[in-house]
Structure 1
Amino acid sequence: MQSSLMSMLPLVLMFVVLYFVMIRPQMKKQKEHRAMIEALAKGDEVATVGGMLGKVSKLGEGYLTLEVAPNVEVQIQRSAVVLVLPKGSIK
């Protein structure tokens, strides 16, 4: 009985280390990203996954419209936004 318990100990220990090193930080990053996406507002300057920069002109449930140049708008998924830039970053 005790030998089988001792043989399981390294496996359990590896899972605990894996949780604190990989899984927990990833969950924290996802939570921060979700909060950033929910806080998006019209006029925010953002960067997308593809590297496109633009200003949010319209917000929808799952999509948003990004003005990438004067009179040029692109519709993207909200989840494609990676970074909210400081105001005035895009010239």
Structure 2
Amino acid sequence: MSLLPFVLMFVIFYFLLIRPQQKKTKERNNMLRALKKGDKVTTIGGLHGTIVELTDDKVVLKVNDVTKLTFDRSAVNNVTARAEASSEESK
């Protein structure tokens, strides 16, 4: 009976902290795998750009007409616009 509070505390800890973090990590990994040319993204540093080149671990962002910057793929924080959406808007 003295172990019951510890087990209960671990179960609560798991469902409130560990499980949501695992879900967030899985969603982020899926987002990083789904990146493609033409996506508009924001980096973890706050830089906004459009993907012009992709490799397994690097992303080249076009920031303006002449500036292209290379980042690790993990530096992408979120996708602000997918490539299909931006091509449909221009039509």
TM-score of Structure 1 vs Structure 2, range by shorter chain: 0.7 to 0.9
SS in 2 for 1:7: coil
CA deviations 1:17-65 (Å, max 9, x no partner) are 0100011011001001000100000010000100000000100111110
Query: Given the alignment, which residue of 13, 16, 27 partners 1:21?
Result: 16
Query: Given the alignment, which residue of 41, 44, 48 partners 2:36?
Result: 41
Structure 2, gaps ≥5 residues long: 87-91
> Aligned AA for 1:83?
N
Deviation at 1:82, TM superposition (A): 1.2
Name the Cα RMSD after superposition: 1.0
Percent sequence identity over matched residues? 46
Deviation at 1:70, TM superposition (A): 1.0
Aligned equivalents of 1:71, 1:10: Cα separation in 2 = 62
Aligned equivalents of 1:71, 1:60: Cα separation in 2 = 21
Q: TM-score, normalised by structure 1?
A: 0.86
SS in 2 for 1:69: coil
- Is 1:30 equivalent to 2:25 in the alignment? yes
Aligned equivalents of 1:56, 1:13: Cα separation in 2 = 47
Q: TM-score, normalised by structure 2?
A: 0.86
> Aligned AA for 2:46?
G
Aligned pair count reads 83
Q: Which stretches of structure 1, 4 residues or more, deviate above 2 A after TM superposition? A: none
- Is 1:71 equivalent to 2:66 in the alignment? yes
Structure 1, gaps ≥5 residues long: 1-5
